[in-house]
Structure 1
Amino acid sequence: MRKNVILLAVCNLIFQGIYSQVVLSADGPGNTYELINAVLANPNRDVVEVPDCNHDAFGRHIDEVFDTALNKNVFQFYIHVTPDNDRCLKDDRQRNEIKTYGDSPENLKANIGETVAYKWKFKLSDTFKPSSSFTHIHQIKAVGGPYASVPMISFTLRKGSPDKFELRYTATTDQNTLKTADLELFKGHWVSVTEVIKFGEEGSYSVEIKKIANNEVLFNYTNSPLDTWQDGAEFARPKWGIYRSLNNPQDLQDEIVKYADFSIEEITDVLSVETLKEKAETILLFPNPSSDEVEFKNANSDNYDLIEVYDYSGRKISIDKKLHNDKLDVSGFSKGLYFIVFKQDTVIAKVLKCYVK
């Protein structure tokens, strides 16, 4: 019997295939804009929006440096309270962002009905100061239609008591806050983000942010069904960087936000967690939670011929030599909640919820 095991990290969706993936990673100092454009745009298209033209004495506002914590090259996004502006225009806001465009490769643009996983890492300084109006560090925006001016999803940092990290959303123009966290949780260390969106009027959204040093989950949110398509849109696209209000410049300071390993993946064949929960019965795991090995109790191998698996973003995990006589070695997996999926003739027969501690 063929038994390949895949562990499915909990999010609102479970994925059974990756259609395509594009990764943008820093490769060392020099030619940073050229690297970004080579990955996110077609030739001769500039997807870098920086305030260089009004602050050319500083040089490029995105560069690459070696980061000792990650042991790799990363991107640095600079923003200065003055004289940086918004795309060379005098305005009440300023931005330094990268994004995709209409003539970017097709698999970098989200269309209605598609499911896309966005992954990246970022680091705020331990003294970061957000605006009381808005400081966006990530957005999902529509291109085309009456609602294109307002991001459907944004990670917004906001001054307060305490300062907040906000997950904000709208399907029209009335943006609201879905969940908040104390911004102090994110300051001074690298975090990884996995954001999964099924785009549609009855779509879904999930996000998980982890502290890379110890894999601690700092923030998570799931919602399904959720309207994740702004009417009239031609496509949706991601944006990363620093986009902030200048309404109260006295509250701000010059900032550097570091980013690494931007990834965009189109995913196919989505199964809902609700479907999996309905099948999570009969077979038991012991011990559960576990940090070493779990055993399948009451497992009848006549009822399944495959045990499959996917990580949080839907990527298959190689687990050679980890399954023996209905026992699964979980010692190499990150802490968290997983689904173990039993299949028979490609149809899901059972699903187990496994907690790794």
Structure 2
Amino acid sequence: MLDERQIGDLMLTEIESAERPSVVLDVEGAMSTARRQRHLAQGAGAALLAVALTVGGLTLPNLLTPDRPPAPAPLGTAPAGGETGLPVALTTVDPQRVYVRFGWLPDGLRDLQYQAGLLLSGSGVYLSASTAPGGGQWTGVAITLYPKGVQPSAPQRDSGEAARPGGTTPGPQLNGGASSFASYSGAEQPEAILRWRYAPDGWAQLKVVGVGADVRSTATQVARALRFGDDPIPMPATVAGVPAALQVIAVDVQESLDEPKVWYASTTWSPKSISGDPGQQRARTMTVSISRYRNITDPADNEYVDPNTTVGGHPARFGGQNGSESLTVYDVNGANVTIDDSALLPTGGTRALFPTITLVADPAAWHTHLHR
């Protein structure tokens, strides 16, 4: 697991790797691997810097412009029979919108996550519910929405071996049309991959791994209960001091329903001048993340609260090198605030940005939109 003290190293590693040619990763595989490395309570930066928190009105030219469909029904209402989709496919993805929610989940899935914007594989939407196996194999349910014309990808195996496609079989009627179950080699647990069009030219892929006695039956139930829409994503803070030269590229929201209940929300910005290449866009980022505060006093715990300075009267931890900075301010009305900057802000910029962040009235009691 990662703690705040490791953010600087993680950021530099991601910067270096993103500047080199790399293989495009499967979204759910990459994200689940990263999530196993840290608890949701951490105020750490978004996994592999692909994700983040904000309340700005900025979008990414050519990739993340605000071209979005109207909501067919208010979120939180039961979908009409078979209407598991949006009226039109997403030509782009606005990171600050909620496009899909779970309406039903099997018991035992306690860790929830929603991501939108520029993910590891490009523009997309990702929603998951999983267990926390403590470093073991990922088990859960994950839905991915792809922009118009983008085909679903093969799953990424933990072994690193390529997943070879097998046959397909018919699935249930979804969104007024046919769906199909796809099979791939190398599955280490019972697996169901269900695909359908959530809108014309827009693919949805639901993956169920190791959940329920019959993973295909579980996938069918989850898919039929999905709720689609286009609402603003609730966040625990607003950020007023982001430089005009930066734009929001992704949002990550997580919540654990286990006790003690914890949540995490982050937004990532990058320069407006970069476009087209997801790796380059993520190579230099600024992330603001908010998490629920927990006072861990055991130095052996990766969530150990270890301040080395104060900011605004709050204990804080500051570090950085080569122009990059990481600042975590502890227990701001019950929340941790972390700012990770890969040399996009002036020297001392993380300290200057902190006073422009306004938390909700009672952060300790806040819940994500994933809370049920």
More helix by share: 2
TM-score after normalising by structure 1: 0.25
Which structure has the bigger radius of gyration?
A: 1
More strand by share: 1
TM-score after normalising by structure 2: 0.24
Higher RCO (Cα < 8 Å, 6 or more apart): 1
